[in-house]
Amino acid sequence: MNKKNQSDLTSIQEPITNAPTEVKQVIEQVLKIEKDKLYLKTPRNINEDILNIIKKVVQ
Q: Which element (helix H / strand E) includes 43?
A: none
pTM score, whole prediction: 0.71
Length of the chain in terms of residues written:
59
Tens digits of residue pLDDT in 6-55: 777 778 888 888 889 999 999 999 999 999 988 888 888 889 999 999 99
Question: According to the model, what pLDDT value does residue 58 have?
Answer: 86
Task: Flag whether pLDDT at 4 surpasses 80.
Answer: no
Where helices occur in the chain by DSSP H, the ranges are 3-17, 21-37, 46-58
Higher model confidence: residue 56 or residue 6? 56
Residues 6+ apart with CB under 8 A from 28: none
Confidence of residue 1 (pLDDT cuts 50, 70, 90): low
